[in-house]
Amino acid sequence: MVRDGLKRVRGQHARGPAKRKRPSRFLRTLAVFSVLAAIVALWIGVRTLVHLPMLRVHHLGVAGAQRVAQEQVLARAEPTRGQPLLLLDLDALRAELETIPGVQRASVLRRPPDLLLLEIVERRAIARTRLGKRTRLVDEDGVLFPTGRGLDGDGSLPSLRGLATGEGASELAQADQVALRALAALARATRRQPPPGTMIDLSHRDRIEMQLGGDAPTLVLDRKHPETNLENLFAMQERVIQFASGRAIDLRFPGRLTLVPAKNQEARR
């Protein structure tokens, strides 16, 4: 009996451990179909959810519009009404809003269940000009845009005259960009915004004429270096405009400031 038991043990070791049964082909197929069915059910559920009437665009909101009319912003987003809120191409709509004159940048936000919020940042006007029969505003990048709904302070913005920019242009011509440099230099030198009534005349191709208010003298600046002209003037001669009231101040020549008097008076350098 002992020998028989040893033979059985040796036989088991010789055969090795018992092999696990593999799942049948039917069970494998059933598992695959179960996974596919779950995916399809999930897809149908998501599709049903995003197309629910309560998750469609029923309301449009606008934020940040002061100069630009809200109706103009809403008109660009009107085609989204009734569309599934979660399926909208927000980047395309944002790009559409940024084509509105006077809009610098925009963002579009979903506010479930049915609100689409349109947020815009308007361009900040630093000057105004007249091209043809229309008054246009200019931002710090030289972009021209309509006045839209006028804001307090528009009448106090510096005025640009004698521009080479065409009537239908969307931004200042390169030759007129010097006006922006002059305004930026004036703000740096004085540490404040230009006074009401400031005018920049670019009609003379050899110089810039700047007048800081109706009673101030005319500043004659070099077109190539208006920044240097103004910074030198206000750094070394802060009160020169007060002393030269009613005269012109010619700053075009390096190292020389000329007060141009009225008739029959002597020029001072």
DSSP secondary structure letters along 37-65: HHHHHHHHHHHHHHT-GGGB--EEEEES-
pLDDT beyond 80 at 41: no
Asked if residues 70 and 78 have their Cβ atoms less than 8 Å apart, the reply is no
Structural domains of the chain ordered from first start: 53-122 (3.10.20.310), 127-260 (3.40.50)
pLDDT beyond 80 at 3: no
Q: With bands split at pLDDT 50, 70 and 90, how would you rate the model's confidence at 265?
A: very low
Q: With bands split at pLDDT 50, 70 and 90, how would you rate the model's confidence at 159?
A: very high
Q: What is the pLDDT of residues 172-217, one digit of tens each?
A: 999 999 999 999 999 988 888 888 999 999 999 889 999 988 777 8
What integer is the mean pLDDT of 101-121? 95
Residues 6+ apart with CB under 8 A from 148: 67, 68, 69, 102
Q: Which of 105-114, 156-165, 244-253 has the lowest mean pLDDT?
A: 244-253
Q: Which of 226, 221, 259 is nearest to 243 (CA)?
A: 259
Q: What is the pLDDT of residue 255?
A: 64
More confident residue, 151 or 16: 151
Q: What is the pLDDT of residue 27?
A: 75
Q: What is the pLDDT of residue 59?
A: 95
Q: What is the pLDDT of residues 239-256, one digit of tens each?
A: 555 545 556 777 777 667
Q: What is the pLDDT of residue 267?
A: 47
What integer is the mean pLDDT of 41-46? 69
Q: What is the pLDDT of residue 88?
A: 92
Percent of the chain's residues with pLDDT above 70 = 78
Beta pairing, strands 258-260 & 248-250: antiparallel
Q: What is the pLDDT of residue 4?
A: 60
The whole-angstrom separation of Cα 207 and Cα 218 is 12
